[in-house]
Amino acid sequence: DAGVIQSPRHEVTEMGQEVTLRCKPISGHNSLFWYRQTMMRGLELLIYFNNNVPIDDSGMPEDRFSAKMPNASFSTLKIQPSEPRDSAVYFCASSGQGANSPLHFGNGTRLTVT
């Protein structure tokens, strides 16, 4: 089991640039979550997909943020244009088809916007 795979591990970009974060969930998992973690706010849910369909995007902070899941094995989170306050660690997590399945996290993408 390869676990949830995220890329890149680190991203440094300038304000105004587009940023794309990538996630490959665990094979067979049908739910995918994007979280953002900061010291000030902890873990915040951004968006949740079930069977590749966005179910709850109420945590997406602004229209600058968008997420897609074109198939069961890939998801992207895009920020355009990026701002310094977007600097954080972004985690992708997936959970399985069984009822009451816990979340399995990737190791995150550390984003720095200068």
Partner 1 sequence: QKEVEQDPGPLSVPEGAIVSLNCTYSNSAFQYFMWYRQYSRKGPELLMYTYSSGNKEDGRFTAQVDKSSKYISLFIRDSQPSDSATYLCAIPSVNFNKFYFGSGTKLNVKP
Residues near partner 1 (CB under 8 A) are 4, 31, 33, 42-43, 45, 48, 50, 55-56, 91, 93, 95, 99-108, 110
C-beta of residue 105 within 8 angstroms of C-beta of residue 93 = yes
> Minimum distance from CB of 16 to partner 1 (Å)?
27
Secondary structure class of 83 (helix, strand, coil): coil
101 or 112: CB nearest partner 1:
101
> Minimum distance from CB of 82 to partner 1 (Å)?
21
Contacts of 80 (CB under 8 A, 6+ apart): 18, 19, 64, 66
> Minimum distance from CB of 56 to partner 1 (Å)?
7
Greatest Cα-to-Cα distance within the chain, rounded to the nearest angstrom: 42
64 or 72: CB nearest partner 1:
72
